[in-house]
Chains A and B, each alone.
Chain A
Amino acid sequence: MKNFEYLEPRSVQEACQLLRQHGEEARIFAGGTSLSIVMKQGFFQPKYLVNIKKIPDLTGIRWDPKRGLTLGALVTHRELETSPLIQETFPILSQIEEDVANIRVRVMGTVGGNLAYAEPLTDLPQILIALEASIRVAGPDGDRTMSLEELFVDYYETSLRPDEILTEVLVPTPPPRTGIEYIRFSSSSVIDKPCLGTAVRFTLEEDLETVRTARVVLGCVAPTPLRARQAEALLEGKRYEVQRVKEAAAFASRECKPVSDLRGSEAYKREMVRVLVTRAAPRAFEKARAFRGQV
Chain B
Amino acid sequence: MSRFITLSVNEVSRRVEVEPRETLLEVIRDHLGLTGAKLGCDIQVCGACTLLVSGKPVSSCSFLAVDADGCEVTSIEGLSCNGRLHRLQEAFIETGGLQCGFCTPGFILTAKALLDEQPHPSEEQIKKYMAGNLCRCGCYQEILDAIQKVAGRRAVQNG
Q: Do A and B come from one complex?
A: yes
Which of A's residues lie within 8 Å of B, judged by CB? Answer: 1-6, 29, 32-33, 36-37, 40, 49, 51, 53, 78, 98, 101-105, 107-108, 190-191
The residues of B that contact A2 with a CB separation of less than 8 Å are 21
A103 contacts B132, CB within 8 Å? yes
Q: Is B120 on the interface with A (CB-CB < 8 A)?
A: no
Q: How far is the CB of A216 from chain B (nearest CB, A)?
A: 28
Further contacts, 20 of them, CB under 8 A, given A1-B21, A33-B59, A108-B58 = A2-B21, A3-B20, A4-B20, A4-B21, A5-B20, A32-B64, A33-B44, A37-B44, A51-B67, A78-B56, A102-B132, A103-B113, A103-B129, A103-B131, A104-B50, A107-B56, A108-B59, A108-B63, A190-B131, A191-B132
A37 contacts B45, CB within 8 Å? no
* Residue among B21, B42, B43 with max Cβ neighbours from chain A (10 Å): B21
Q: How far is the CA of A225 from the CA of B129 in the complex (A)?
A: 28
Q: How far is the CA of A150 from the CA of B128 in the complex (A)?
A: 34
* Residue among B20, B50, B66 with max Cβ neighbours from chain A (10 Å): B20
Question: Number of B residues contacting the other chain (C-beta, 8 Å)?
Answer: 28
Q: How far is the CB of A47 from chain B (nearest CB, A)?
A: 11
Number of A-B pairs, beta carbon distance below 8 Å: 72
The residues of A that contact B50 with a CB separation of less than 8 Å are 104
The residues of B that contact A6 with a CB separation of less than 8 Å are 3, 20, 64, 66
B47 contacts A102, CB within 8 Å? yes
Q: How far is the CB of B133 from chain A (nearest CB, A)?
A: 8
B132 contacts A105, CB within 8 Å? yes
The residues of A that contact B56 with a CB separation of less than 8 Å are 78, 107
Q: How far is the CB of B55 from chain A (nearest CB, A)?
A: 10
B58 contacts A104, CB within 8 Å? yes
B67 contacts A53, CB within 8 Å? yes
Q: How far is the CA of A3 from the CA of B65 in the complex (A)?
A: 13
Would you list the 5 A-B pairs with minimal beta carbon distance, nearest first?
Answer: A102-B132, A36-B62, A6-B20, A1-B21, A104-B59
Give per-residue flags for B111-142: 1 if the beta carbon is below 8 A from chain A beta carbons, else 0. Answer: 00100000000000000110111000000000
The residues of B that contact A1 with a CB separation of less than 8 Å are 21, 23
A32 contacts B67, CB within 8 Å? yes
The residue that A32 contacts in the complex, of B3, B43, B63, B132, with Cβ under 8 A, is B63
